[in-house]
Amino acid sequence: MLSQLKPPTFKDLSVKKTPDNKQLDNIKTHLDLLLLALESLAEITSDTIITAAKHLKINSTITNRVELWRLRQSNPIRKSSGGRKKLDIEEAKSLVLIICYLANKHQELIRRGVTLLEESLSQNQSPHQITLLGDYIDKFTNTYQDRMEEDETNYNKLEQLGFKLLIDLLFYSDENGHRRLWLALLDYSKINL
Amino acid sequence: MVSLVKRYTPPTCSLEIVGKVSPLSIYLQKPNLKELYFQLHFDDPRFAAETQITVTGDRHLLDSLCNTVREYVQNFLTQPTITSNVTKLPTSSQQPYLHPQGVTNHKLHLGNLNRQSSPQSILLSVVQLFDLAHALEEYSQEIASLPEFYRGQSKKAIPLFATAGIILAVGLTVGVKLSHQSPTTSPSDSVAKNSTSEIRPTSPKKPLSEVIPPQPSTNQPVTPAILPPTLQKREKLSPPSPVTPPQSPKLTQPSVTSTQPSQVKPSQTELVIIPQPKPQSTQPKQPETPTLIINPQPPQTEKKPPILVLKSPSEVPTFQDNSQTNLSSPELSSPETTFPNDLSLNSSNTQLIIPEKIEEEKPHENLLKPSLDETASLFDYTPQIAEVRNYFQEKWQPPTDLQQTLQYRLVINKNGYLQTVIPLGYNAEFYLQQVNFPPTSVSFVSPFSQSETQTIRLVLQPDGNILTLLDN
């Protein structure tokens, strides 16, 4: 079910009204968390993301690791405040395309993770007992606590967030996932995290 | 009406669309879909067959289901937690709707979707919901892209027509050139050198009369005096309707021979290629040893200039191409058997190069020839083979999702009526309705003169190529 269609472009992502700063902050946060979930599940590095940007021909936005790091640092809940840049709407679109492209590439793995999560919950079994899910949620929560200011966040809430992002990634891995994510971001930006 | 069948088969469900598209859609540049209905099978292999559910409905219900699922998924994605309630109650109790059930399940209420079993709702896992959304989105996108598809088809027809026109124009031009040739050619040489060839008479799609100008040139005063009596009785080039394929060269006569008709001897007006019993030979035939009589006519009837209508070499499929069509005949895959791609006409001496293996062969030895597609139109063993091919070239349009070659065995009775269609393989059976076979009550091809019934293999390729060959 991997996408065989033409690669998504910015034209697929339209916005009627430019989000305000508060909404942009929420968008930045959500995009960074989705990348974090992808990193926790699959072997995704900065180089992988830059390569994806080149494949999608959006490498003018994300040219190198430093640029990528500055983009991700724009997440307002990140610990580090130095080097933070302001994320504009075009950069947000770039990250949307990259996330959905990577999700599509790892769709089978994401699907397996979601299937295992469903099975474990239906059997009243802890997802941690399943290697894939245990490794994923451990890496997600640890990285989250390392990078984010809200390191005092309740572990159960972080776990729920990790699994929710995993499920979301499944829907974003579809051929029109970038549209789904973009619409979700525009709605999501109105909701406080 | 053209059947439209499409299947979307994610792992846990399958959506099958069946509909009719009016042929007028090609001209309207917008598909006129009629009688569209769907079957949605929730056939997750993890569950027993008896618990799997199938729902059906028309396009209205399908579009309603698409919107319901799309909205639900989008709302679900905007929720910050897994267990959020994203239920959007339907405006009507008959409308399908979804709501979360537990942590990772979603209940789809079927509403007025037709179903074979009794449940009013289906419990979907996240993966099932994803697959359902995937199938419905694919359907939505393809329906939306149908106009482009049909535009593409209508554009495709123009180059074909233009190509036919160009080919015929080249043939006429060559004919005019040859009519200016010096008459020093000996009668014996003229058999092979001054030859008239044409698209086989059984090819009704491009009659020569279609390219003949409606009025002959008026600045050639010698024309009426030199024309044979049979032509003088006719109106000049005006009536294309009485033209039958064997007579079509006669109609071309006024326009091409009027300049120097006396220089063309009657014996030079036709191509006579005598059969040569060398079925194993693969070399192109020399003009002195022809093997086929193409369009035989009495020598005295006409003074015809050589008109040769040829396909360009690029259009002639190579043998390697044919081997990719999964034809089972060993002859088709034989590397020794080659067919000359360079049928060429030298305008100076008008030599026609014809392969040796043409006519005097048993039917099973001719399995190769019809498979050569366009080239084979000159060398089909029986005219019915070309008639079948011509019929499907007009009627059949490959579905966009077709990936594999379809093969059918057509049993045709002595009178030329289609008797039986035998699909060969699953894909052929699946696309059976889309091929538009003629009714058994309608004459399909011209009657056979020898056998009671004849079996013809029809090969439909995804790129639109059509092959027909005798099948024993």
Say whether both B248 and B350 belong to one domain.
yes
What does the alpha-carbon distance between residue A23 and residue A183 come to, in Å, rounded to a whole number? 13
- Residue A109 located in a structural domain: yes
The first and second tokens of residue B243, run together, are 């033209």
A170: Cβ contacts below 8 Å, ≥ 6 apart: A103, A107, A110, A111, A114, B126, B127, B130
- Give the model's pLDDT for residue B74: 92
Between B9 and B439, residue with greater pLDDT: B9
What does the alpha-carbon distance between residue A51 and residue A62 come to, in Å, rounded to a whole number? 10
- Residue B377 located in a structural domain: no
pLDDT digits (tens, 9 = 90+) for B13-64: 999 988 776 666 666 555 566 678 899 999 887 777 777 888 988 888 899 8
The torsion angles phi and psi of B456, rounded to 5 degrees, stand at: -120, 130
The torsion angles phi and psi of B95, rounded to 5 degrees, stand at: -85, 135
What does the alpha-carbon distance between residue B82 and residue B84 come to, in Å, rounded to a whole number? 6
- Residue A30 located in a structural domain: yes
Which residue among A114, A175, A184 places its CB closest to the CB of B126? A114
Least confident of B92-96, B263-267, B377-381, B459-463: B263-267
Per CB-CB distance under 8 Å, the chain B contacts of A121 are 102-104
Tokens 């992988």 belong to A48
CB–CB contact A183 B130 (8 Å)? no
Say whether both B343 and B294 belong to one domain.
yes
Which residue among A161, A174, A193 places its CB closest to the CB of B134? A174
pLDDT digits (tens, 9 = 90+) for B203-225: 344 444 444 444 444 444 444 44
Is the Cβ of B141 closer than 8 Å to some Cβ of chain A? yes
- Residue A7 located in a structural domain: no
Report the sign of the C-alpha dihedral through residues B394, B397, B403, B408, in that order. negative
Say whether both B339 and B248 belong to one domain.
yes
Final residue in a domain of this structure, among B91, B126, B146:
B146
Between B225 and A173, residue with greater pLDDT: A173
- Give the model's pLDDT for residue B251: 44
Residue B184 has pLDDT above 80, yes or no: no
Say whether both B185 and B301 belong to one domain.
yes
Q: What is the pTM of this model?
A: 0.52
Residue type, position B301, single letter: T
What does the alpha-carbon distance between residue B165 and residue B210 come to, in Å, rounded to a whole number? 9
Which residue among A160, A180, A184 places its CB closest to the CB of B81? A160
As for how many domains chain A has, the answer is: 1
Residue B132 has pLDDT above 80, yes or no: yes
Final residue in a domain of this structure, among B146, B163, B198:
B146
- Residue B370 located in a structural domain: no
The first and second tokens of residue A67, run together, are 């640029």
Per CB-CB distance under 8 Å, the chain A contacts of B401 are none
Is the Cβ of B127 closer than 8 Å to some Cβ of chain A? yes
Alpha helices in B318-358 (DSSP H): 319-323, 330-333
- Residue B287 located in a structural domain: yes
Tell me which of B81, B98, B104, B403 to substitute to probe the interface with A (most A C-beta atoms closer than 10 Å): B104
What does the alpha-carbon distance between residue A142 and residue B268 come to, in Å, rounded to a whole number? 93
Say whether both B266 and B314 belong to one domain.
yes
Say whether both B434 and B338 belong to one domain.
no
The first and second tokens of residue B173, run together, are 């031009």
Say whether both B340 and B388 belong to one domain.
no
Say whether both B351 and B418 belong to one domain.
no
Q: Which helix (H) or strand (E) holds B98?
A: strand B97-101
Residue B273 and residue B223 in contact, taking contact as beta carbons nearer than 8 Å: no
Which residues, in sequence order, are bridge partners of residue B466?
A: B460
Supply the DSSP string of B136-169, one letter for each residue: HHHHHHHHHHHHHHHHHHHHHHHHHHHHHHHHHH
pLDDT band at B243 (very low <50, low <70, confident <90, very high): low
CA distances from A142 to A39, A56, A147, A148 (A): 12, 30, 9, 10
Residue B126 has pLDDT above 90, yes or no: yes
CB–CB contact B141 A176 (8 Å)? yes
Say whether both B398 and B351 belong to one domain.
no
pLDDT band at B174 (very low <50, low <70, confident <90, very high): low
Q: Which helix (H) or strand (E) holds B115?
A: strand B114-115
Final residue in a domain of this structure, among B361, B392, B411:
B361
Residue B382 and residue B454 in contact, taking contact as beta carbons nearer than 8 Å: yes
Interface residues of chain A, partner chain B, Cβ below 8 Å? 1, 111, 114-115, 117-118, 121-122, 160-161, 163-164, 167-168, 170-171, 174-176, 180-181, 183-184, 187-188, 191, 193
Is the Cβ of B138 closer than 8 Å to some Cβ of chain A? yes
pLDDT digits (tens, 9 = 90+) for A136-156: 999 999 999 888 886 556 788
Per CB-CB distance under 8 Å, the chain B contacts of A182 are none
The torsion angles phi and psi of B53, rounded to 5 degrees, stand at: -120, 145
What does the alpha-carbon distance between residue B48 and residue B45 come to, in Å, rounded to a whole number? 7
Least confident of A80-89, B279-288, B320-329: B320-329
- Residue A1 located in a structural domain: no
Which residue among A118, A181, A183 places its CB closest to the CB of B126? A118
Tokens 């209420």 belong to B109
Residue B306 and residue B196 in contact, taking contact as beta carbons nearer than 8 Å: yes
- Give the model's pLDDT for residue A82: 58
Per CB-CB distance under 8 Å, the chain B contacts of A176 are 137, 141
What ipTM was estimated for this complex? 0.90
Say whether both B353 and B395 belong to one domain.
no
- Give the model's pLDDT for residue B112: 78
pLDDT digits (tens, 9 = 90+) for B321-369: 333 333 333 333 333 333 333 333 333 333 334 444 434 444 443 333 3
Per CB-CB distance under 8 Å, the chain A contacts of B11 are 1
Per CB-CB distance under 8 Å, the chain A contacts of B10 are 1
Residue B207 and residue B243 in contact, taking contact as beta carbons nearer than 8 Å: yes
Say whether both B248 and B331 belong to one domain.
yes
* Among A31, A37, A158, A191, CA closest to B79: A191
What does the alpha-carbon distance between residue B83 and residue B100 come to, in Å, rounded to a whole number? 8
pLDDT digits (tens, 9 = 90+) for B93-106: 678 888 888 778 89
Our CA-based measurement puts residue A115 at a distance from the nearest CA of chain B, in whole angstroms, of: 7
Per CB-CB distance under 8 Å, the chain B contacts of A183 are 74
Q: Note down the domain range covering B307.
A: 180-361
As for how many domains chain B has, the answer is: 3
* Distance, CA of B438 to chain centre: 14
Mean pLDDT of A155-179: 93
Tokens 């979700």 belong to A184
Which residue among A1, A168, A191 places its CB closest to the CB of B10? A1
Is the Cβ of B80 closer than 8 Å to some Cβ of chain A? yes
Which residue among A117, A180, A184 places its CB closest to the CB of B104? A117
Our CA-based measurement puts residue A64 at a distance from the nearest CA of chain B, in whole angstroms, of: 30
Q: Note down the domain range covering A77.
A: 18-188
- Residue A40 located in a structural domain: yes
Mean pLDDT of chain A: 85
Tell me which of A115, A130, A153, A192 to substitute to probe the interface with B (most B C-beta atoms closer than 10 Å): A115
End-to-end, the C-alpha distance of chain A in Å comes to: 32
pLDDT digits (tens, 9 = 90+) for B386-425: 888 888 888 888 887 777 778 888 888 888 888 888 877 7
What does the alpha-carbon distance between residue B372 and residue B323 come to, in Å, rounded to a whole number? 11
Name the closest residue on chain B to residue A171, using Cα atoms. Answer: B130
Q: Which 3 state secondary structure label does DSSP give B121? A: strand
Give B 359-418 residues with CB within 8 A of chain A: none
CA distances from A89 to A20, A51, A81, A92, B79 (A): 10, 21, 21, 5, 22
- Residue A87 located in a structural domain: yes
Say whether both B307 and B184 belong to one domain.
yes
